[in-house]
Amino acid sequence: MTRLHYAALAAAALASSAHAAVPLATCDDPSFQQVLHASSATLDARAVWLDRRLLTWPGAEAGSTFRLYHSGTAAIVATPGAKVTGADGALALEASTARLPVRFKWVGAGPVLSVRAQDLARLKDLHRGQLVLVQEAADGTVRAATRIQAAGALDDLYAAAGELPELGATPRKGRTAFRLWAPTAQGAAVCTYDSGSGKATAVHEMAFDARTGAWNAYVARDLSGSYYRYAVDVAVDGMGLVRNLVTDPYSVSLTTDSKRSYIADLGAANLKPKGWDATRAPNTVKAQTDMVIYELHVRDFSINDPSVPAEKRGKYTAFGEANSNGMRHLKALARAGLTDIHLLPVYDLGTVPEKDCAVPAPNGAPDSESQQALTRKTADTDCFNWGYDPYHYNALEGSYASDPSDGARRILEFRQMVMDLHRAGLRVGTDVVYNHTFIAGQNDKSVLDRVVPGYYHRLNAVGAIERSTCCDNTATENMMMARLMIDSAELWTRHYKIDSFRFDLMGHQPRAAMERLQKRVNKAAGRHVELIGEGWNFGEVADGARFVQASQLSLNGSGIGTFSDRARDAVRGGSAGDSGEAMVRRQGYINGLVYDQNALGGEHKQVDLLRAADMIRVGLAGSVRPFAFQTFEGKLRKLEDIAYGNQPAGYASQPGEVVNYVENHDNQTLFDINVLKLPVETSPAERARVQVLGMAINAFSQGVAYYHAGIDTLRSKSLDKNSFNSGDWFNRIDWSYQDNYFGTGLPQSDDNGKDWPLLKPFLAKAAAIKPAPADIAFARDAFRDLLAIRASSTLFRLRSTEDIVQRLRFFNTGPQQEATVLAAWIDGKGYPGAKFAGLSYLVNVDKVAHTVSGEALRGKRLKLHPVHTAAGAADKRAAQASFDSASGSFTVPPRTAVVFVAE
């Protein structure tokens, strides 16, 4: 910010405010809101502003008389059959023949109305109060009344806000500026505090910029290290005119439990650990398909690790314990070929107390209810949550810091953690959740809605917030919500050196916003930043109902990756939404479909196994649209012509647009789903082998490889399908490899209780199912071998669709295939980084050995991959696989994944 701009802010700060000055005592009010003018009248918001001038009222009677009433004190009462009271005045509206803009194509049919030209200049001021649209009878009484969804008008009236300089608190030497976008506020002030808990030291009136809708204040000293809150006066439906004491949507840090925002220049030297400016991520990812990701929760990583000092367990600082069991595990994975750690959300969370959180100590029988009963009691006060409950997007979570009361501590410790992971040979990514907030409205943990009511969230036809994502959905189609998302991602890239992002429920965001975000983070990093996310197509935005989504099909050609459910469901069996007997009956490719039926799996036919094998081949080929192979029906089909429900199985234009996985934090772990689907008598050693088959299919698939932390140690959550709030007990990992925690009690009742009668017998048999340390060690080491095999050749990480089409060939396909064996050849001649003239991978999921042939491989000289023949190879059974050059046939032992190479 220039000195000239600071001078302008200083002058603006002296300008008179439209509201009464905020007393200093208000800043210390224990309440988070004060009602300045009460009104209990409530109305739906059925009408929609289309731009600054036009609005529409779906379902209203065309040809009626419509008037727009306004009140600066939010005192309007509009009761049918009576005349409007409490208004300061009204604007007459005219009928319009304008069509709905594409942005509002979802809005129902109704009359389009226009503000008269002579009234347009008044609208900015009127939006700072209450607006009610009334359909009037001839005598002026109310026939119907509604509020109006305002985003369309605000985005048009304040389009200049998109180019505003830095929002939030900006300290510099000798001065600090505050900027808050609140175009509907009648007044705003900033309260400043010397500490996170002491009384306010000053209150600074803010000046309104009518061009951008931002409120500005200037203080002629550097307030770095201090704290602040805003006092914002806004009209709230059902309450009246309210003064909200609220933290900053652009907070870069906070005090304990997010009570106050922290003032910091993230570029300041005192917020950088030694060596921060010089640290660089390992140069292991040359293309998006090089990414091999391990999804890890900060608290899970160390809370159960006795090799970490007690005060560091569950904290950012645990990653600095280079010789801890957990860090030795991560370093071993990095040496094998893992490229990225993806941290579950690390922004400020809404549900974890940052001080004195509960730490329950459950115990009980393997099938007991007692463990979950205790964790349910403390679910909202304990130290654990996945973190899909965003409170402040730009600030770090304080419960992972050694001192959450110190706004600087979490910044320093997070940056040190990034450096520690870099030293371990790993890049750092993070999960971000811009599709919803923890809460909205006038709740004390609501931020956005208490600054600009009704703007930042996606509203339905009556003006209520859509909640299809679980919580209060944000409206990233609105200009300033999109800007907040993009600014936030840039901040994480620039100031925390985040290498890649995983976007939660990304399909609820516009593709256009994601593409703008991609450009911004690339510019901030000075290189390409990898973006992946959940591209699920559901809810109020499904099938492009409101905009072109950042979803699986709609992102085609963008380069942004989406998780693929195609091979995932075929590998595991069933779908993520299964419950009851379906969780057992619907076996998957690796856990016995047809060839090893469980007690409920007898209804499946051979065609189901064939179809599952083909769907996994889709994933192995990177789900790219033009690739073709002979399906089980005997037809040569492109992946885009193979049906996956009502969608094409192959949906990507390039392999980097697909993320392959068989387990992540959601749903049961792979071990747990296999407990349900494998025959109960399956031995622990064989269960470990089945786990390795799932990991191998992922390792051999074109695209991005994504793994959940602990998949390699047979991690169990005791059958919990949704452990987001199940506490440390059900989310533990053992980096000493002695236990996988299967049979630690019935899973939490909220999401699993209806299935307890089904789950209880499996847990009661925990002693026969639970792996021994040797089984865990086998899976651990086999996973590292798989990482090493994938890292050994770019043939597992082909760069383009053209490469896949030209070089990948499946054999053992069609109606006569051996359905339990996946087999492929990848031609490596002339391919950069191939290391081999070609390679074949084979996965035999059956309990018996099989021999399959590839005619095109006759006469080739193939040998086992060097990883399989190394002295320390984990899977000795793989070394028994063989290739006969004369016939081009492979013999693969039971439940074995193996790779042969040509030199």
Active site residues: 504, 534
Angle between helices 479-496 and 511-525 (to 10 degrees): 30
Please tell me the distance from the alpha carbon of residue 341 to that of residue 362, in angstroms, as a whole number.
30
- Give the residues across from 56 on adjacent strands: 48, 112
Closest CA to 352 of 432, 436, 256: 256
Please tell me the distance from the alpha carbon of residue 771 to that of residue 86, in angstroms, as a whole number.
71
Taking the alpha carbons of 472, 477, 479, 485 in that order, is the dihedral positive or negative?
positive
Please tell me the distance from the alpha carbon of residue 268 to that of residue 169, in angstroms, as a whole number.
14
Alpha helices in 660-755 (DSSP H): 670-677, 684-700, 727-730, 749-752
- The DSSP secondary-structure symbol of 16 reads P
Please tell me the distance from the alpha carbon of residue 591 to that of residue 583, in angstroms, as a whole number.
12
Please tell me the distance from the alpha carbon of residue 504 to that of residue 476, in angstroms, as a whole number.
13
Please tell me the distance from the alpha carbon of residue 418 to that of residue 318, in angstroms, as a whole number.
12
Closest CA to 517 of 530, 536, 534: 530
Is residue 47 within 8 Å of 55, Cβ to Cβ?
yes
Token pair belonging to 552 = 């699986």
Token pair belonging to 880 = 């028994």
Token pair belonging to 675 = 């407990």
Please tell me the distance from the alpha carbon of residue 330 to that of residue 294, in angstroms, as a whole number.
9
Please tell me the distance from the alpha carbon of residue 218 to that of residue 461, in angstroms, as a whole number.
41
Closest CA to 481 of 516, 448, 512: 448
Please tell me the distance from the alpha carbon of residue 729 to that of residue 285, in angstroms, as a whole number.
35
Please tell me the distance from the alpha carbon of residue 431 to that of residue 518, in angstroms, as a whole number.
15
Terminal-residue alpha carbon distance, the chain: 60
Give the start-end residues of each E strand in 772-870: 808-811, 821-827, 838-844, 850-853, 862-864
Strand order in the sheet with 882-884: 850-853, 889-892, 882-884
Place of tokens 């256009």: 512
Token pair belonging to 126 = 């009127």
Please tell me the distance from the alpha carbon of residue 379 to that of residue 352, in angstroms, as a whole number.
9
Please tell me the distance from the alpha carbon of residue 269 to that of residue 271, in angstroms, as a whole number.
5
CA distances from 270 to 225, 244, 408, 729, 888 (A): 10, 33, 9, 37, 65
Give the start-end residues of each E strand in 142-226: 142-146, 148-149, 168-172, 175-181, 187-193, 200-205, 207-209, 214-219
Place of tokens 């747990």: 672
Residues 6+ apart with CB under 8 A from 323: 307
CA 133 to mean position of chain CA atoms? 38
Per DSSP, the three-state class of 164 is: coil
Is residue 505 within 8 Å of 469, Cβ to Cβ?
yes
Instruction: Categorise residue 835: left if φ over 0, alpha if ψ from -120 to 50, beta otherwise.
Output: left
Closest CA to 245 of 25, 94, 74: 25
